[in-house]
Amino acid sequence: MRPVTLITGASAGIGWALAHVFAEHGHALVLVARREKRLKALADAIAAKGHGTPACLPVDLEQADAVERIRDGLAKLDAEPAIVVNNAGFGLVGLASELDHDEQLGMIDLNVRALTESFARLRR
C-alpha cells in the first residue's frame, strides 16, 4: 500500500488551500468531499501546477456508509492514509432552542461521529 495524505472537506476553503500546500510538498493526495465537480476542479488545478493528480472520492461524510465508502475507495487505490486532515464540518449560529433540530443533529453527526468513526474504522 502506498502512503497518501487524505483531506476531507477538500472542495472549498481551508481544505482546498491545504490540498495545494500538501501537493507543493510532494504528497500523494486523496481528496474527499461531497461535491464531485469541485473535487475534480481542485485535482485539475493541482495537476496543472505540475504536481501529481490527486485521487478524488466524492463522499458525503454525513451519510452512514461514508467511512466504508472511503475505506473501499482507498483499497481500490491501494492506498493507506499516512496523514489525515479532517477538515469537513460546519457550524450553526444562533440559540440552540431556535435552530433547526435536524440541522443541529447533522452538525453533531458530521463534526463528531464522522471524525470518531473514521479514526476507529479506516484502518480496519
Percent of the chain with pLDDT over 70: 93
Whole-number pLDDT of residue 123: 55
Q: Is residue 91 over pLDDT 70?
A: yes
Average pLDDT for 29-49: 96
Whole-number pLDDT of residue 122: 59
Give the residue extent of every domain in the chain.
Answer: 2-121
Whole-number pLDDT of residue 67: 86
Whole-number pLDDT of residue 20: 97
| Residues 53 and 46 sit within 8 Å (Cβ to Cβ) | yes
**Least-confidence region, from 8-12, 17-21, 103-107, 118-122:** 118-122
Statement: 2-121 belongs to CATH 3.90.1150.10: no
For the segment 49-85, what is each residue's pLDDT rounded down to a tens digit? 999 999 999 999 888 888 889 999 999 999 999 999 9
